[in-house]
Chains A and B, each alone.
Chain A
Amino acid sequence: MPLEIFVQVLLSGVLLGGIYALVAFGLSLVYGVAHILNIAHGTLLAVSGVVASLIYLATGWHPLLIIPLMVAPVFLFGYVFHALLLRPLAHRGKHDETIGTVLITTGALIMLSDLTGFAAGTTQRNIPVGSGVFEFGEVIVPTAQVWILAGILALTIVLQLYLKHAWFGRAVRAVTQDSLGATICGVNGPRARALTFAAGSGLVAVAGVLYAIVYPVDPYMGFSLTVRAFTIIVVGGIGNLPGAMIAGVMLGVAESFTAFLWAPKWAPALSVILLLVILVLFPRGFSSWKRA
């Protein structure tokens, strides 16, 4: 393979992986803090992406303006969804809680997809921002993608710093490690869980807008992203954002090369197979021992 093509494929893989990582961040926090297997996580991205593309189509606003417009309602949706449906499950036995969570989030997945499909149609959409290109010799990269990648990196650093140093970030990490212990130390566990669920939803709205700039979205595409995000957090470590970033980029690059060297239709198989292999080799998660 010529070097410039190699670099081209690598770069598109890195970008794809960055977006995957962003999807995984929310899931990682939600699972780590609230112990919720949110099966509708990727679907929330799909819905956000569709709505954002409709807004763009109608107004032509800059995506940077659309992001906050999307984040606020999705954050609120996450908060209410958690408060009304998921929080009451906490007093059940562990197995019943898991089953309840799976049913509620799966039901939500079906509802979100169907309602969006009904209201906005099932066709694929995107946010066609015109953008120039950077040229590095033979390698051509659209500027928008570079900005997106930079944005994701900045967001990761901000989130990581927040989790490490802000009071609420520390509280969230404490709840991740030992919910009861954190509660005894004065952290409001239920509130931390609700806000984390809302924040995870808000993050996925950001990811939805960015995703729609680069790739097409439709109301039913979410679940495959959820599976990828699961893979990423299992590989990268639950609650571990840098780990998720590395795992996400690795997955994106691997998919990108699979699609290029073999066939695009096999790329989605990677995440599933990787998930199974990693779980077999490391039954408690790849890096569960080094939490964020």
Chain B
Amino acid sequence: MTKPSSIAYALVALLAVALIPLLGGPYLTSFVFALLISFVLAQSWDWVNGQMGYLNLGHYAFYGIGAYAFAILLTRDAGLAVSFAGAVAFATLAALLVSFPLFRLKGDYFAFATLAIVPLCELLANNLDWLTKGSDGITLPPHYVLVPAFYAALGLAALTLLVTLGLMRSRFGYALRAIRNDEQVAEVAGVRLFPVKAAMLAVSAAFAGLAGAIQAWQFSFIDPFTMFNLGVALVPIAGALLGGSGLLMGPLLGVILFASLQQLLLVNITHLQGALLGLVIVLIGRFLPGGLLRWKKIAAHPAFAWLARESHFEREMTAGGPAAGALPISEAVIDPERIVLQCEAATMAFGGNVAVNRVNLTVRQGEIVGLVGPNGSGKTTLFNLISGIYTPKSGRIRIDGRDIAGLRADEIAHLGVGRSYQIPRPFGELTVRENIAIGRTYGRHKTALPDAMEAADSIAAFVGLGDKLETRADHLSLQQKKALELARALASEPKLLLVDEVASGLSTVEINLFVQHIRAIRDRYGITVIWVEHIFSALSQVVDRLVVLESGSVIADAPLAEAVRDENVLRTYLGSAHGDGRTAEARP
């Protein structure tokens, strides 16, 4: 819960700003008005950048689209309410339309493509004379609306802040942050990517569009240059980054500072305002990667501690803290006849390299299967096929009887496949608890976020991370990251757990502990496990069956005791030297 005092602070601040049109002059009022609009733009941009990790350089286009939709509707006597609604509708529609092509792209290519949207809109505004009056711009009926426009902007800004807080505390918000950290892992953890991304872009565009409409209403004149000028387009972005992208108060603080500076320049300098503004943007880019609020001197200061907080999920702590031992997973009775995984001639090739070659594999409920083979024999590729990262070139894979052909990775996760990565891929900027909670809330059983956070504590305790709940995942040691991988996968309550090389780098004691975990997972909760591992002494303690891959093909699939006597297996594992009889016996 938010503390009553912070609600009181917020209300006092809101009231103080609300008094400005009554007590301050028109100069102050229009300055604060511009600031509010700029904040809405900066913050709504930052939902996509700071939360979701997509650098949208075309955000300003939605502002312009909103302004134009509003002005066009209003000049055709559509009425104020309809014009505002139209602005929101058109901006949202535009965002949904571009989200289909744009979200096929990642990283720099996404930035490339969004960069092109603003000039395209400017061109359309300039050229579609019949609609936009071209470069002459649209003049609205002259009414003095500064005060109502001010309150509209204030309301929108307050709503913007509330939405930001909501994103920080919601399941949806955690989906965004999972996407920002590692999109593929987010999908494997059960987040359906496209609707989340498109929805966020659409909401962000709706706010920008409404801000544009309010601006057009207040200014009563728009033209392509003011609406789509690159120099202006990046100012709100610079503001958000100045304060601290992704932080609750970052964009607000940054916009206030930036707008004040801009105003100072405007009043005191007659020439080269643009150049100075550009210089400020350059300096922000060069010296403030995380924004002012993440600057050590500020973040460490107690007065700013709340402002600099990365996470705003708050909850009452349960007394005594998490207890190790029990997992918040329903216990299951193992039905040894039930087939959890069935691969039929599954094949995957990269170019001419056949990584997985007609693999047949049947795994029944409650089995622990060791999957071994030399480097490059296709173990991880097989995992990627089962978890839906790759689509098999031919053959079939069934999870619990269901053919996964055509299913996305998140759908496969919801069928009950959990996996860990050989090279750990935690959501690095999130805490251990948040990492596990994402696996939980988007797992097989959709869980409310507070319950998922609760469950995360005991899962963390189970894998030995009970004292690291608040630690950022990228600050963990390699072993701890591997434990986190396991915890996140377990949190989703999988039916089938794919474990990819966790033992390398662990001490004997740690390995034994891990083996105990795997056994407990199976015995208590009926979870089927496939474990890829090179450290044979670890596998041999717990697996029922050994499947051996070589060059993508299964060369042995037998109970452990038989497999270790198989000539093929020994040759694969110990090399040809074994055949010469010069090697010591294989130690089971």
Collect the chain B residues with CB atoms within 8 Å of residue A269's CB: 120, 123-124, 127
Asked if A273 and B120 make an inter-chain contact with CB atoms under 8 angstroms apart, the answer reads yes
CB distance from B537 to the nearest CB of A (A): 34
> Which label, helix, strand, loop or mixed, suits the secondary structure of the A interface?
helix
Given known contacts A96-B289, A99-B241, A272-B119, A107 and B272 CB-to-CB distance under 8 angstroms: no
**Residue B79 is within 8 A (CB to CB) of chain A in the complex:** no
Report whether A103 and B116 are in contact in the complex, using a CB–CB cutoff of 8 Å.
no
- B115 contacts the other chain (CB 8 A): yes
Is residue B281 contacting chain A, with contact meaning CB distance below 8 A?
yes
Partner of A100 from the list B49, B112, B126, B289 (CB cut-off 8 Å) is B289
B112, A37: Cβ atoms under 8 Å?
yes
Question: In this assembly, does B275 line the interface, its C-beta being within 8 Å of a C-beta of chain A?
Answer: yes
Bound CA–CA A141/B271 (angstroms): 43
How far apart sit A233 and B145, CA to CA, in the bound complex (Å)?
47
The stretch of B3-11, B102-110, B432-440 in contact with A is B102-110
Residues of A within 8 A of B274 (CB): 110-111, 113-114
When distances are taken between beta carbons in the complex, the residues of chain A under 8 Å from B127 are 263, 265-266, 269
Q: Which of A53-61, A150-158, A193-201, A222-230 contacts B (4 or more CB under 8 A)?
A: A222-230
Residue B238 CB within 8 A of the other chain: yes
The segment from A162-170, A243-251, A279-287 that touches chain B is A279-287
User: How far is B237's CA from A99's CA once the two chains are assembled, in angstroms?
Assistant: 10
Q: Which residues on the A side are within 8 Å of B237 (C-beta)?
A: 103
* Contact for B116 among A37, A94, A227, CB less than 8 A: A227
Query: How far, in angstroms, from A268 to B286 measured CA to CA in the complex?
Result: 32
Contact indicator A115/B281 (Cβ below 8 Å): no
The smallest beta-carbon distance between A266 and chain B, in angstroms, is 6
Which residues of A lie under 8 Å from residue B497 when comparing CB positions?
A: none
User: Which of chain A's residues have a CB closer than 8 A to the CB of B115?
Assistant: 39, 227, 230
Given the complex, which residues of B lie within 8 Å of A89, measured CB to CB? 285-286, 289
Q: Which residue of B lies closest to A268 (CB)?
A: B123
Question: When each residue 46-62 of chain B gets 1 if its CB lies under 8 Å from chain A and 0 otherwise, what string results?
Answer: 00010001010100000
Alpha-carbon distance A88/B281, docked complex (angstroms): 16
A31 vs B272: C-alpha distance in the bound complex, in angstroms?
30
Whether B120 and A272, one on each chain, are in contact in the complex, defined by CB atoms closer than 8 angstroms, is: yes
Chain B positions within 8 Å of A62 at CB level: none
Cβ–Cβ contact A284 & B109, under 8 A: yes
Interface digits, B103-137 against A, CB 8 Å rule (1 contact, 0 not)?
Answer: 01111110111011101100110110000000000
Is there an interface contact between B104 and A100, defined as CB atoms closer than 8 Å? no
- A215-262, CB < 8 A from B: 223-224, 227, 230-231, 234
Q: Which residue of A lies closest to B282 (CB)?
A: A107
Smallest CB separation, A219 vs chain B (Å): 10
Residues of chain B within 8 A of A111, CB atoms compared: 274-275, 278-279, 282
Contact between chains at A275 and B241 (CB < 8 Å): no
- Say yes or no: A275 contacts B116, CB within 8 Å: yes
Q: A104 at interface (Cβ–Cβ under 8 A)?
A: yes
A223 x B230 contact (CB < 8 A): yes
In the complex, whether B450 has a CB less than 8 A from a CB of chain A is no
- Interface status of B234 (Cβ within 8 A of chain A): yes
Closest chain B CB from A45 CB (angstroms): 16
Contact B53 A95, beta carbon cutoff 8 Å: yes
Closest to B238 in A: A103
Do A107 and B113 contact each other (CB < 8 Å), given the known contacts A92-B289, A96-B289, A99-B55? no
Closest to B279 in A: A111
Report A's interface with B, CB cutoff 8 A. 31, 35, 37, 39, 85, 88-89, 92, 94-96, 98-104, 106-115, 118, 223-224, 227, 230-231, 234, 263, 265-266, 268-269, 271-273, 275-276, 279-280, 283-285
Closest 6 CB pairs of A and B: A103-B285, A110-B278, A107-B281, A107-B282, A114-B274, A111-B278
The 8 sampled A-B contact pairs (Cβ below 8 Å) are A95-B53, A103-B241, A111-B279, A114-B273, A115-B272, A269-B127, A272-B116, A279-B113
